[in-house]
Amino acid sequence: MRRLLRRSDDEDPEAAPEPEDAPLPEDVVDFPPPPPADTWAADVLGQGFQARTLPLLEDDEGEVVATLVRHVPADDPGALPGTPSSPTFAVLYLHGWNDYFNQQELARQWAVIGGAFYALDLRKYGRSLRPHQTRGYAETLSTYDEDIHAALRVLRAEQGVGTDLVLMGHSTGGLTAALWAHRHPGAIRALVLNSPWLELQGSAVLRALSQPLVERLARLQPTSVLPVTGMGFYQRILDGWSEADGPVPPGLEDDPFVTGWAPERAWRLPDAPIHPGWLAAVLAGHAQVAEGLEIPCPVLVMSSGRTILGPRWVPEMRESDVVLDVEQIRRRALDLGPLVTVARFAGAIHDVTLSVRPVRAQVYSELRRWSRAYVLRPARVPA
């Protein structure tokens, strides 16, 4: 197992190393070894999932990689009945902040629609995180173009250059995906955004006031840690039902929403550090969205039906987005392009695909319906 120590601008590079038996700081974590480069290997998600490392250009911290994960339905004991043996399009998924790909059910649902499913752990996240790196750090969201293009080279080689592509992103990954689609018109058939982070919580006025301060900090101390802490409510939801929540709803005893989605704690910290350089990149992306994007392909924007952003835990948080303001998501969605579908799901959480089972059923039903309209090409009728 590798170990990662969170770095900051306050570290003394001349300090003597700690002895081997010294107590470990709380922010040192163990995480699984990386997959090999240039070949597929079994992934940590188990049968039916494979991963490979994508080498990228070095940056000022040293080696940089991304990691591509693919779903292989023929090897997946959990593959859904009716999954076609030959996909008709491909899907590339981008995760959000402090996250990585861990949604097997999402892959299986895309596969039954007819999509060859791939997911990308972006540089300095999840499977791509290396001990010498600042977790999740990038100074501009366009940096991820290299990651995405490296993934697309593999995807095109396997699925064919002319294969239709659906790009999907969650939260910050949704913002990254939207900006990439704007810069690469015609590259994808459709864009699916799952609770995309399109605006700073509060208002555009708050963003305008805070952006100069954040940009100044980004110039002076880009990788310092901002004094911002989360409440841990979203992590509590992902960890599953607790005794404080009362009795489990009937019929949901085996639902991962109740038993817990079991995220890899080394790859998803309960309270990840926020760096000014990264936040400035996000705010710049928000400003671009506010100016209006021109994404020519159909866009599906999915979100919860409501937001609860409070200082104290309430049971209703398990049926709400506790990370982003869904009203802002819906307002900004209209700035993405000429053809945008907005779908709200009552009872959904921030990642709508990790909501309680009845809500997930609604999400995937809508995804199938939308895909039939905008992704799947009609069968050719013989002359």
Burial (CB < 10 A; 0-12, 13-18, 19+), residue 26, is: exposed
The predicted structure's pLDDT at residue 179: 98
Each domain of the chain, given as residue ranges in start order, spans 2-227+274-374
* Residue pair 283/207 in contact by the 8 Å Cβ criterion: yes
So what's the architecture of 2-227+274-374 in CATH? 3-Layer(aba) Sandwich (3.40)
Q: Mention every residue, 6+ apart, whose C-beta is less than 8 A from residue 85.
A: 74
One digit per residue, the tens of pLDDT, for the chain of length 383 reads: 344 434 334 444 344 444 444 333 334 556 678 999 989 999 999 999 999 999 999 999 999 999 999 999 999 999 999 999 999 999 999 999 999 999 999 999 999 999 999 999 999 999 999 999 999 999 999 999 999 999 999 999 999 999 999 999 999 999 999 999 999 999 999 999 999 999 987 555 444 557 677 877 778 888 888 877 777 899 999 999 988 888 998 999 999 999 999 888 889 988 889 998 999 999 999 999 999 999 999 999 999 999 999 889 999 999 999 999 999 999 999 999 999 999 999 999 999 999 999 999 999 999 999 999 999 998 654 44
- H or E, element range at 58: strand 49-59
Q: Give CA–CA dist 96/29, Å, rounded.
A: 20
Please state, in angstroms and rounded to a whole number, the distance separating the CA atoms of residues 259 and 275.
33
pLDDT of residue 208: 54
Q: Nearest to residue 66, comparing CAs of 125, 138, 117?
A: 125
The pLDDT value recorded for residue 200 is 82
- CA dihedral 218→53→72→185, nearest 10 degrees, is 50
User: What are the C-alpha distances in Å from 337 to residues 185, 256, 300, 347?
Assistant: 11, 35, 11, 27
The pair of three-digit structure tokens given for residue 152, joined into one six-digit string? 């697309």
**Which of 176, 168, 201 shows the shortest CA–CA distance to 300?**
168
Considering the entire predicted model, what is its pTM? Answer: 0.90
